[in-house]
Chains A and B, each alone.
Chain A
């Protein structure tokens, strides 16, 4: 293979396959977005630091990116913020301890409420059927 052909092939390979650093950077961006979407902005109302334009939220996003780049896992990064702000900082509460109530109480109350409604409805229907007066015989029937 001539040197010229080799150079063309190398150029093609480089074009098709982006450098490793660029790939890492894209993955880091995606991971930063994912983690930032789960963290509450402390100076906003119900917004994640990913969505918020607040300066503090942007700085927090910088911390998320830095920690991920340093090799921390998303859970470790979230644990860092929980250690500073408490569980309040998580937009999605953890499914442990008292928080389990947040997940289980609504369906339990809904099922119990539904059962009560069905039971009462059946009783009312039965009671109304029993209360319906039977037609009294008319003189024509006699």
Chain B
């Protein structure tokens, strides 16, 4: 085979090989969310009551968190469940950072995904408590609205009500602090809205 023919063959195949090679560098499980930059889907979810003795009937929630009411403050929305092993890794980090960032205009909420309130309550107690409200989403409608694949997943919402980032997997201290610090630097001064004392569970 002469060199001209070899060069022509290589030139014809090279783009296909390059395309396939590019495909090999991509993780098929990493799917980009279309949500960042868009208005965060609103939700109004009941706060899971924490003062319930084991075996007692599930009381009706007396409090609701509506996302639209929190406009002007940065939101960290964490989807989790008691059956989720990876949620154990991130929960202490979230719970430690939530009070520290509350005064800087950041609210944390946990949304219970496909789990019973009683199992979730037991898990929270086992984990040493939770410093932010746990919300109930029994029909998983908010999970679908946020394009959830599984748990844990964390959505960062800016003070303007737009989704900034959707983090899949257990969120780390570094991811939380770097994302929130940059959002705080960009956001205008937050309205004063301290986390109600009754949502802090120990």
* Interface residues of A, Cβ cutoff 8 Å to B: 42-43, 55-56, 59-60, 62-63, 82-86, 88, 109, 112
Contacts and interface: CB of A to CB of B under 8 A. Distances in A.
Given A42-B149, A43-B150, A109-B16, A84 B144 contact: yes
A58 B32 CA distance: 23
B140 interface: yes
Contact of A84 (B12, B32, B146, B150): B146
Interface of B: 12, 16, 31-35, 38, 41, 114, 139-141, 143-150
B139 A85 contact: no
B2 to A, nearest CB: 13
B147 A86 contact: yes
A63 B144 contact: yes
Contacts of A83: 34, 38
Q: Is chain B's interface secondary structure helix, strand, loop, or mixed overall?
A: loop
Given A84-B146, A84-B147, A59 B141 contact: yes
23 contacts: A42-B148, A42-B150, A55-B114, A55-B140, A56-B114, A56-B144, A59-B139, A59-B140, A59-B141, A59-B144, A60-B144, A83-B34, A83-B38, A84-B34, A84-B146, A85-B31, A86-B32, A86-B33, A86-B34, A86-B147, A88-B31, A109-B16, A112-B12
Given A42-B148, A42-B149, A43-B150, A56 B143 contact: yes
Contacts of B12: 112
Contacts of B41: 84
Contacts of A59: 139-141, 143-144
Contacts of A85: 31, 33-34, 147
Contacts of B145: 84
A43 B38 CA distance: 24
Nearest to B38: A83
A15 to B, nearest CB: 38
Contacts, number: 44
B152 to A, nearest CB: 14
Contacts of B141: 59, 63
Contacts of A62: 139
A43 B113 CA distance: 13
A86 B150 CA distance: 16
Given A43-B150, A62-B139, A86 B144 contact: no
B79 to A, nearest CB: 11
A95 to B, nearest CB: 19
Nearest to B31: A88
A43 B149 contact: yes
B187 to A, nearest CB: 25
Nearest to A56: B140
Contacts of B34: 82-86
A111 to B, nearest CB: 13
A78 to B, nearest CB: 13
Contacts of B140: 55-56, 59
